[in-house]
């Protein structure tokens, strides 16, 4: 994932209470120790299990960073759907992969990144070349094949990241995957907060910012709570990709408003 060029990495206020240096050092060391395990893991999604091997790995990794996942809304019984979510941080991918045995659609440049590229390919990531119609059609074919194996596909229809303070218009192209296959879209809203329920913009990854600056800012947070709201699936029946995209955007926006207005739930989906 690359940061957005729409936000120019504006300075973000740090947490009022900063995690002590020994805690941050412990998180880094524990994360590095945990990362070594991923090279030997089976990375392909396993839709026969609600939480496959890689989902468990990401859940543990987030726990080491003191990131807690709290989920509201009903999880669909079927797995063959298109997950569409707002996009704020590099954490988004980890959170969604911890919750679902899913494949992601990502820009093709990631495939050439050292270490990350081969691992993403192993995990079933579908790479798309921007501006090439043939690449887009190939992406739809690959995504359809994954969904036929009951593996959900995840996309971020905004096409870039934001600081989490707004939702950008959804791009419509990927919704053709739903209109052509009859598979539903599952709108997912992600909101990052401190334990008291105040929104955290500090975990965002935008602009021309270096990844490690964003990572360091996240480490400074004493604890991060990511609240995930699952809206009801949207059937493509009677909709074209434009109307389905608009309905999905409204659902994600509504989920974000619901999270902002509601009290944080006390139960966690993970080990937190």
Query: In the predicted model, is pLDDT for residue 96 greater than 50?
Result: yes
Quote the pLDDT of residue 14.
52
- Summarised one tens digit per residue, pLDDT across range 119-131 is 777 878 888 776 6
SS3 128: strand
Cβ pair 197, 251 in contact under 8 A = no
| DSSP character at residue 264 | P
Query: In the predicted model, is pLDDT for residue 269 greater than 80?
Result: no
Structure tokens at 129: 């070349």
Q: What is the pTM of this model?
A: 0.87
- How far is residue 55's CA from residue 58's CA, in Å, rounded to a whole number? 5
- Summarised one tens digit per residue, pLDDT across range 159-178 is 888 999 899 999 999 999 99
For residue 155, give the H/E element and its range.
strand 153-155
Tokens 């081969």, located at residue: 118
- Summarised one tens digit per residue, pLDDT across range 197-238 is 999 999 998 877 888 888 889 999 999 999 999 999 999 999
Count Cα atoms within 13 angstroms, Cβ side, for 118: 5
For residue 230, give the H/E element and its range.
strand 224-230
Query: Considering the domain 21-261, what is its CATH architecture?
Result: 3-Layer(aba) Sandwich (3.40)
- What ranges do the domains of the chain cover? 21-261
Query: In the predicted model, is pLDDT for residue 91 greater than 80?
Result: yes
Band of the pLDDT at 15, cuts 50, 70, 90?
A: low
Query: In the predicted model, is pLDDT for residue 10 greater than 60?
Result: no
Q: Stretch 43-56: mean pLDDT, rounded? A: 85
Q: Stretch 39-54: mean pLDDT, rounded? A: 84
Query: In the predicted model, is pLDDT for residue 2 greater than 70?
Result: no
Quote the pLDDT of residue 265.
54
């Amino acid at each position: 994932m690359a940061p957005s060029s729409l936000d120019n990495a504006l300075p973000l206020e740090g947490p009022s209470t900063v995690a002590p240096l020994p805690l941050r050092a412990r998180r880094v060391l524990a994360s590095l120790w945990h990362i070594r395990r991923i090279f030997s893991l089976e990375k392909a999604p396993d839709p026969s299990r609600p939480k496959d091997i890689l989902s468990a790995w990401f859940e543990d990794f987030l726990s080491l960073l003191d990131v807690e996942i709290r989920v509201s809304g009903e999880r669909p019984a079927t797995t063959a759907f298109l997950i569409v979510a707002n996009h704020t941080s590099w954490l988004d991918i980890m959170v969604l992969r911890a919750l679902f045995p899913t494949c992601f659609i990502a820009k093709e440049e990631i495939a050439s990144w050292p270490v990350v590229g081969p691992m993403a390919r192993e995990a079933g990531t579908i790479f798309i070349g921007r501006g090439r119609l043939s690449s887009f059609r190939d992406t739809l074919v690959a995504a359809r094949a994954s969904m036929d194996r009951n593996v959900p596909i995840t996309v971020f229809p905004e096409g870039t990241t934001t600081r989490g303070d707004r939702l950008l218009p959804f791009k419509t192209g990927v919704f053709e995957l739903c209109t052509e296959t009859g598979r539903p879209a599952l709108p997912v809203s992600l909101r990052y907060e401190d334990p008291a329920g105040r929104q955290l913009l500090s975990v965002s990854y935008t602009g021309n910012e270096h990844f490690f600056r964003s990572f360091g800012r996240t480490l400074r947070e004493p604890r991060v709570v990511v609240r995930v709201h699952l809206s009801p699936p949207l059937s493509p029946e009677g909709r074209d990709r434009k109307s389905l995209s608009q309905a999905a955007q409204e659902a994600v926006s509504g989920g974000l408003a619901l999270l902002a207005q509601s009290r944080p739930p006390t139960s966690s989906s993970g080990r937190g």
